[in-house]
């Protein structure tokens, strides 16, 4: 039996299935975690619709769209890194992992620029929040959701980049081949999941109330 198969597994295939299933069990808890935020946002958006629309229109559509494209691109490079591992190709694994890290950092950088604008414009909830018009306190609630949801998403990306750095080091050492690449596969699942969260965050926060009546 190959050395990478732990003693409690029948074979490499069973081990890979178990790893994938375990990762999905974890991702389901992540769906539950983000689901609570999405449900809360949906409830308060329907309750304070005008205020949430005002706040939403203030978000930077160009930066949001560019970030969406960057994150989708990082999912592509991640998928290609896993594919390179399946094909036991060491060089492409490292290149695609580094590209994924780079795109992830680009996303976080643009997010930081957006956060910077919000700080300058006094849109961070708390003592210094200021908003003209009658809906100020409910717009503040919108920005609380904005920072909580995008912030938790960004935290997941930071953790993901940490995983990717570790994977790059391991891939460089030639640890992943077609017969064993479980860490690549399950980290890929995590990275794609974080992409999916953004696929829903982007329209909910930036798009659905964008048009002006």
Partner 1 sequence: MDTHILPTRLYVGIFLILLTLTAATVTASFFDLGGRLNSANVLVAMSIACGKALLVVLFFMHVRYSPRLIWVFVGAGFFWLAILIALTMSDYLSRGWLPLPAPWGT
Applying CB under 8 A, the residues found at the interface with partner 1 are: 13, 16-17, 20-21, 24-25, 27-28, 31-32, 35-36, 38-39, 42-43, 45-47, 49, 53, 61, 65, 68-69, 72-73, 75-76, 78-80, 83, 86-87, 178, 185, 188-189, 192-193, 195-196, 199-200, 202-204, 206-211, 213
CB nearer partner 1, residue 33 or residue 119 = 33
CB nearer partner 1, residue 87 or residue 122 = 87
Distance, in Å, from the CA atom of 157 to the CA atom of 211, rounded to the nearest integer, reads: 30
CB nearer partner 1, residue 87 or residue 117 = 87
CB nearer partner 1, residue 49 or residue 119 = 49
* Alpha-carbon 200 to chain mean position: 10
- Least distance in Å: CB of 125 to partner 1? 22
- Least distance in Å: CB of 117 to partner 1? 19
Q: Residue 208 in 3-state DSSP?
A: coil
CB nearer partner 1, residue 65 or residue 130 = 65
Secondary structure (DSSP) of 97-142 = HHHHHHHHHHHHHHHHHHHHHHHHTT-SSSTT----STTHHHHHHH
Decide: 99 and 63 in contact? Cβ < 8 Å. no
- Least distance in Å: CB of 27 to partner 1? 7
Nearest to 193 by CA among 3, 58, 53, 34: 34
- Least distance in Å: CB of 79 to partner 1? 5
Distance, in Å, from the CA atom of 178 to the CA atom of 41, rounded to the nearest integer, reads: 43
- Least distance in Å: CB of 199 to partner 1? 5
| Integer CA distances (angstroms), 15 to 20, 21, 37, 87, 130, in order | 9, 10, 34, 19, 55
CB nearer partner 1, residue 124 or residue 185 = 185
Nearest to 41 by CA among 153, 145, 151: 145
- Least distance in Å: CB of 120 to partner 1? 25
């Amino acid at each position: 039996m190959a050395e990478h198969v732990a003693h409690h597994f029948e074979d490499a295939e069973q081990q890979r299935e178990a790893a994938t299933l375990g990762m999905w069990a974890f991702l389901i808890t992540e769906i539950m975690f983000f689901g609570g935020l999405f449900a809360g946002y949906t409830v308060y958006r329907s309750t304070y619709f005008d205020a949430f629309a005002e706040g939403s229109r203030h978000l930077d559509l160009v930066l949001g769209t560019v970030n969406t494209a960057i994150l989708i691109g990082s999912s592509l490079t991640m998928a290609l890194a896993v594919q390179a591992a399946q094909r036991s190709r060491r060089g492409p694994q490292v290149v695609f992992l580094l590209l994924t890290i780079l795109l992830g950092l680009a996303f976080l950088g643009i997010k930081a620029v957006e956060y910077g604008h919000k700080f300058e414009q006094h849109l961070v909830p708390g003592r210094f929040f200021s908003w003209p018009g009658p809906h100020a306190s409910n717009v503040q609630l919108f920005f609380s959701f904005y920072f909580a949801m995008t912030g938790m998403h960004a935290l997941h990306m930071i953790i993901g980049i940490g995983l990717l750095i570790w994977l790059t080091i391991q891939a460089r050492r030639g640890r992943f081949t077609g017969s064993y690449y479980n860490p690549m596969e399950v980290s890929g699942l995590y990275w794609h999941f974080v992409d999916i969260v953004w696929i829903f965050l982007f329209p909910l926060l930036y798009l659905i109330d964008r048009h002006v009546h």
